[in-house]
Chains A and B, each alone.
Chain A
Amino acid sequence: MAGTQDRSILAFDEVTVRFDDRAVLDRVSFELHRGESLVLLGEAGSGKTVLLKSALGLIKADGGRIYLFGEDVTKATEQQWYDLRARMGVLFQEGGLFDSLSIEDNVAYPLLNQETLRCPEEEMARRVEQSLEFVELGHTLEKFPSELSGGMRRRVGIARAIVTEPELLLYDSPTAGLDPITAATIMALIIKGRDVRRATTVIVTHRYQDGEMLTRYRHDASLGHVVPAAANGSGPRTHYVVLREGRIVFDGSQAEMETAADEYVANFVRRPG
């Protein structure tokens, strides 16, 4: 693994995280290269969010090594993590919007608080506006999170994640609790973010359809919406990782996933009815 970390954006090598005496991540290893997308599937409590928070340095690993942007960050200090996080964008499961701040201030927050990203006020206002336009919420600048619907809050979360133009984007259950139409809109925005900004993307979800959409669709800049990707698979590479009780039980492509013999993995692919 050591030889390939130079090219990888994010890599876990035998990472273990324990809560009390229980291993919530058990010797997890995977690798993600620049421009790739990773779909992380698993049932509730399988360790998906813990994995994402470990990648952000919000939860410390008890064992193994984490590599970010080609560097070993397992022992990074909190200050070093702040610099690393400036290169990452994240959408939390609950949105993580600050309810005491307006939408404009929420989106501007990383630009104001991350030392390496500070920019002049006009530049900041322009980037905030651009980010909100990207998620089609340019008219909500003065509003507060409590005034928006769940789907809109999720879109503001995406705007905040991309405002810094990060190299790595992490989405924690972006479609959880949303109706199918809003969920499709959110996925279309994630695809747009991936294709327009060429960001490496990690998406944590329990819905196979999210991964499917990420693999089978691409954003068409001329049309301004997502279209089915070419069948020859020339789009960005998407691979799937399935977690079960903190362990990786599957790591492969969509085609491999759809033919997986493991009952637990197959359950994600199986369609109701």
Chain B
Amino acid sequence: MLDLIKGPILTFQEFVLLAGRATRGIFRKPYYWPDVFTQMDLIGIGSLPVVLLTGFFSGAVMALQMSRALQTYGATSQIGQIVAITLVREMGPVLTALMVAGRNSSGMASELGSMKVTEQIDAMRALGTDPVMKLVKPRLIATATMLPLLTILADFVGIFGGWIVACPLLGLTSDAQYWNNSWRSLEYNDITQGLLKPFVFAIVLSLVGCFYGMKTTGGTQGVGLATTQAVVVASVWVVVLTFLIGRIFVSM
């Protein structure tokens, strides 16, 4: 029994140590700014199409599915409110994070994993560079900056998608009422929650991706395994954390 839980506990301990070193590293030199901007481009600009598409269709689907229920209660005018609150609080941050986990956590794990198995990470240490500062820190900074921005865009595009379905397509409510309801229903609590979540997710997504990449062993097969593990673990953490953060905000 003890042996069964020893492995996961050791892995978690290693993860916490890496997280600690990377976080401490944020306040220390050296800073590899070109690497940070490259990662920002990869994560932010690279994920933009998939994040916008996901955001748009999640808003549209939400409006579509809610239309029947709201018609039953004669509350179709509330469609903007429902779409906006659900997207900003929950769906926007979670779906964006899951997309970035699938795209970038896996990318980080495979890139760093390949570097590990071809001894590039050992070479880096041997040639005077700390891999945590050179590889992990730029990815952490870039993800923590870009994920909240991507989430804001996904939220907006999602609300727009909801409007397309609710107004031009189904005629559930007027344009003015939809946008007015969407805007007025959002409180500071929602916005804070909607921005805090992607920030926390970003830290987890980047660190999980880097962690599994850095501990890759066993050649190309190991790289594949590390990539899969990174996506699975990062995605599970996203859904667990959204519940925990949501729980804190609901009781506030």
Q: Mark A residues whose CB is within 8 Å of B.
A: 53, 56, 58, 78, 82, 85-86, 88, 90, 92-99, 109-110, 113-115, 117, 160
Chain A contact residues, majority secondary structure? mixed
1/0 per residue, CB under 8 A from A, across B114-147: the answer is 0001111011111111100000000000000000
Query: Shortest beta-carbon distance, A173 to chain B, in Å?
Result: 11
Which residues of chain A come closer than 8 Å to B118, judged between CB atoms? 94-96, 99
Q: How far is the CA of A93 from the CA of B120 in the complex (A)?
A: 11
Which residues of chain A come closer than 8 Å to B123, judged between CB atoms? 90, 92, 96-98
Which residues of chain A come closer than 8 Å to B119, judged between CB atoms? 92-96
Q: How far is the CA of A86 from the CA of B119 in the complex (A)?
A: 18
Least CB separation from B111: chain A residue: A100
Which residues of chain B come closer than 8 Å to A110, judged between CB atoms? 127-128
Q: Contact: B127 with A56, CB < 8 Å?
A: no
Q: Shortest 7 CB-CB distances between A and B: which pairs? A: A96-B123, A114-B128, A113-B128, A96-B119, A92-B119, A110-B127, A94-B119
Q: How far is the CA of A114 from the CA of B126 in the complex (A)?
A: 10
Jot down 13 A-B pairs with beta carbons below 8 A, ordered by A. A56-B122, A85-B127, A88-B126, A90-B123, A92-B119, A93-B119, A94-B119, A95-B118, A96-B119, A96-B126, A98-B124, A109-B127, A113-B128
Q: How far is the CA of A114 from the CA of B123 in the complex (A)?
A: 12
Q: Contact: B122 with A97, CB < 8 Å?
A: no
Q: How far is the CA of A160 from the CA of B126 in the complex (A)?
A: 11
Interface size on B, residues (CB 8 A): 13
Which residues of chain B come closer than 8 Å to A56, judged between CB atoms? 122, 125-126
Which residues of chain B come closer than 8 Å to A90, judged between CB atoms? 123, 126
- Assuming the A-B contacts A92-B119, A96-B119, are A58 and B125 also in contact, with contact meaning beta carbons closer than 8 angstroms in the complex? yes
Q: Contact: B128 with A115, CB < 8 Å?
A: yes
Q: Contact: A99 with B122, CB < 8 Å?
A: no
Residue among B120, B122, B128 having the largest count of chain A Cβ atoms under 10 Å: B128
Which residues of chain B come closer than 8 Å to A58, judged between CB atoms? 122, 125-126
Q: How far is the CA of A160 from the CA of B119 in the complex (A)?
A: 14
Q: How far is the CA of A249 from the CA of B124 in the complex (A)?
A: 32
Which residues of chain A come closer than 8 Å to B120, judged between CB atoms? 96-99
Q: How far is the CA of A97 from the CA of B115 in the complex (A)?
A: 9
Q: Contact: A53 with B128, CB < 8 Å?
A: no
Q: How far is the CA of A58 from the CA of B119 in the complex (A)?
A: 11
- Assuming the A-B contacts A92-B123, A95-B118, are A78 and B130 also in contact, with contact meaning beta carbons closer than 8 angstroms in the complex? yes
Query: Shortest beta-carbon distance, A176 to chain B, in Å?
Result: 13
Q: How far is the CA of A58 from the CA of B117 in the complex (A)?
A: 14
Query: Shortest beta-carbon distance, B41 to chain A, in Å?
Result: 14
Which residues of chain A come closer than 8 Å to B130, judged between CB atoms? 78
Q: How far is the CA of A115 from the CA of B120 in the complex (A)?
A: 20
Q: In the complex, given contacts A82-B128, A99-B120, what are 12 additional A-B residue pairs having Cβ atoms less than 8 angstroms apart?
A: A56-B122, A78-B130, A85-B127, A92-B123, A96-B118, A96-B119, A96-B120, A98-B124, A109-B127, A110-B127, A113-B128, A113-B129
Q: How far is the CA of A144 from the CA of B135 in the complex (A)?
A: 20
1/0 per residue, CB under 8 A from A, across B86-129: the answer is 00000000000000000000000000000001111011111111
Query: Shortest beta-carbon distance, B21 to chain A, in Å?
Result: 10
